[in-house]
Structure 1
Amino acid sequence: MVTTRHTPSSCTGHDGRAARGRGAYRVGMTPSRPAEALDWLLDKSVVLGWSKVGPAVRRLWWPADPPPDALRGKHVVVTGASGGLGLATAAGLAALGADVHLVGRSLERLHEAERTITAEHPDARLHSSACDVGDLDAVESWCAALVGEVPSLHALVHNAGLLPPERRTTAQGHELTLATHVLGPHLMTFRLAGALRGGRVLVVSSGGMYGQALPEHDYEYAEGEYSGVKAYARTKRMQVVLAEQWAQHLAADGIHVAALHPGWGRTAGLDEALPGFVKVMGPLLRSAEGGADTTVWLAATPEQWPSGRFWQDRQPRPTHYGPLHQESAEARQRLWEFVREQTGVPAV
């Protein structure tokens, strides 16, 4: 069943800081010591762990797939669902029986995504609506409309992302990657928190965040020479820190939060943004479905995973490699206050 709606686009308490070390938590099948050692080697090698080699090896011990009807009767939202990882995520969730709400900037592209999914899953229940996640006014309107129609959500997947070639600003004057990756998702999460009670919030970050420290100030990237790649990576670092903070603030409502990185997945967006990287790494890149695997698993597994962790290939991962780019408690709090001031949520 496919329905379409258009919204105008002018439209427990896990301690997050404790998640920075190597996660000891395991779900499902417990790997042997040799498997754990191999998993560690894959993670630290980067090329092996983040490429398609990682899941090909780790599936020997990773947790079981969700049951075929794990999401039957449940509503999930996927932003950036018109292509790439978002489309693959939406398809994976639809295959498990979910009512999937596809969100993107272009209703036409969302219709194309619907056709792609229903070609493989004819019984998919899809609901498309246009909203620019970087436009805070659009997010406000879209959330109000969704809550009026869908009082209960099982999961919200923040997947919308972009890598602009030069500095751009939104209708509210915010730098584009900051608005799309940080401010819009934060506003959406708290506006939908009532519907998400007992549910899950997933943030699709990037391994690129390992190379960037949390900014001490200048969140809008107004100073210095602008780099789209750096803007992307530093807002992905902000996402990971923010997800840890969401986990603490939303624990009372039983909402579990996870950030994750999908590894190196081959998508049209990556081809356009980093053609040189794709040329070199092409044979080792994961498919979009491979990149979406952990997102789908976190949304659908009946196991209750710990809130506030950072994941890749169905297991928690460190958010820093050793002391590199460790942020202070003060820097984390400054980010929280900035985001709260710019979005108005949560209220003091």
Structure 2
Amino acid sequence: MHELLFQPLTVGALEVPHRVFMAPLTRMRATQPGDVPNDLMLEYYRQRASAGLVIAEGSQVSPQGKGYMDTPGIYSEEQVAGWRRITDAVHEAGGLIALQLWHVGRVSHESFHDGQLPVSASALPFRNRTTVRGEDGAPTRINCPTPRALELEEIAQTVDDFRRATLNAREAGFDAVEIHGAHGYLIHQFLSETSNDRTDDYGGSMDNRARFALEVVDAVVGAWDAGHVGIRISPLGTVNGLDDAGGEQMGLHLAAAFAERRLAFLHLSEPDWAGGPEHHDDFRRSLRAAFPGVIVGAGGYSVEKAERLLGAGYIDAAAFGRQFISNPDLPARLAAGAALNAPDYATFYGGGAEGYTDYPALDD
């Protein structure tokens, strides 16, 4: 079944066995203090190593980049060592794994930053919540404050944080990195007119609003090479308090710039999974024309949707999220036409093994 999903694919410098990718999924299980990847995370990723490519969860490139409880980082020696054990386990199981490089920007809370405000492109109020540890130790949702705007020298430092995180990801044994430019986080905050009212070189025109994203891309490519770098964007994204109604035009502008740089892949997170409008095929055709390289589609995909878009040539692989949470052997299940385990939404964020490493595989 689903023969299009199970064809091999060249993704930049990687040769992947099939096109069922694991999407990056925030699960909030890193060890504290220090946001360190741990043995529980190792088992979780080892179980899912049969993905064509595992894209590991967003990992903050600096302490400033953190916005949720118990998310892992990629800026300390302890974090690099923890991730190294995980990549070794995935490789021993025959898999490939990339790391998503993350800075949340304003989607944060001052309790993560010693009482200092989170940062963004601009100091604009917005409505959104993030997750902190409650008094009972459980995840608790709390309002995000109005952020402060990054100063020019801080922008340069943040670009360098992505560069150093890329070097750390290489040291940790990852096969590639994915820059998180989607879902209302820092890079997306610079891209969107609704969150960026700067009047310097990083605001105003489309070229200016794209400047930070492309500086990050160039820094990451410089720390590795284009064949090991992808990026995730979400044109029309309506997530985390950012309503990017004009995002398709920026998405096409970015896609052309990514094509010039010959990035390994463009990961398109579609907006309808979070209640946003759907991308129409006219946009998909325009995106394909702008970026002839590998396009990974994601966003609440069904197998049928993935097959249709693969068959039309609009995408080259599909990244599945919730299905991989509850089905560690998702590719085998899809290939066999087997039933899928239902996800337990109550255990998505925070906690221990329950709802994380205890979902059964077909041969259990």
TM-score where L is the length of structure 1: 0.37
TM-score where L is the length of structure 2: 0.36
| Bigger fraction of residues in strand | 2
| Bigger fraction of residues in helix | 1
Q: 1 or 2 for the larger relative contact order (CA 8 Å, sep ≥6)?
A: 1
